[in-house]
Amino acid sequence: MECGPPRINDKLMRFFDHCEKFLTEVEKNATALYHVEAFKTGPEMQNILKKVAATLQVPVNNLNADLIQVAFFTCSFDLAIKGVKSPWCDVFDIDDAKVLEYLNDLKQYWKRGYGYTINSRSSCTLFQDIFQHLDKAIEQKQRSQPISSPVILQFGHAETLLPLLSLMGYFKDKEPLTAYNYKEQLHRKFRSGHIVPYASNLIFVLYHCKNAKTPKEEFRVQMLLNEKVLPLAHSQETASLYKDLKHHYKDILQNCHTSEECQLPKVNNTSDEL
């Protein structure tokens, strides 16, 4: 199959770069990641600082949370990419790794996930684009026309997938992740390293059921995250009638307009003269 040259559409795949509300209220807002900074100075991270300082035989004042993260990332990247155990791995134990994982999850939660509504709502255009392609395939099939685009591949980053999955209601915990509930969140759903690991991917598969009894049952959708079946958020089933899926996400498909979602609230600069 011949493919045409790739088309770059950053407004679609890097929607966060084009959303003024996200850029102002989250990306460039010094207080948006308050819980990340608070956790860095909290008891869990301070315990790691003291342990690492003792292991390295350096004054604890010479270390900070950012340096600890660099050492941990050096360890984890070598393991993940090269299969090599870095000497830096020896300064951490499994409990330290859980704390440092939580620190990274806090950042992803407040910057890309459920922390702020605009994080996910900024991805509406991409979500709607996916369903437009599915609608087109269904229309062509119903008209007995060849499917013009049997496979559509879009390439982005973890920063593309996390907001989209949050928009769809996946991996949402009952309580938000904060700097102060680490122990309560040990069994949390929102674990970014599991949701968007290296080469993470989200797949929508559209099925045409020839033996369907009714027109509604003719088309079904299955989703896969990182090549594993992802149960549907609204039913927890492994596949859904296409019309049921569209109905579940009716609000996003019909009422989520990026231009409105990403618009900053207007500031009233008028003042009454005394």
Tokens (6 digits) for 246: 């569209």
Is the model's pLDDT at 172 over the cut of 60? yes
The yes or no reply on domain 11-262 and CATH 3.20.20.70 is no
Q: Is the model's pLDDT at 173 over the cut of 60?
A: yes
Alpha-carbon gap, residue 68 to 51, rounded angstroms? 11
CA atoms in the 13 A half-sphere facing the CB of 200: 17
Residue 274 has a pLDDT of 45
Q: Is pLDDT at 199 greater than 70 in this prediction?
A: yes
pTM of the model: 0.92
Enter the tokens of residue 30. Answer: 């010094």
Q: What gap in Å lies between CA 189 and CA 195, rounded to an integer?
A: 9
Q: Give 31-84 pLDDT, tens digit per residue.
A: 999 999 999 999 999 999 999 999 999 999 999 999 999 999 999 999 999 999
Do 195 and 165 form a contact (C-beta atoms < 8 A)? yes
The amino acid occupying position 130 is I
The dihedrals phi and psi of 83, each to the nearest 5 degrees, come to 70, 25
Mean pLDDT, rounded, for 90-104: 97
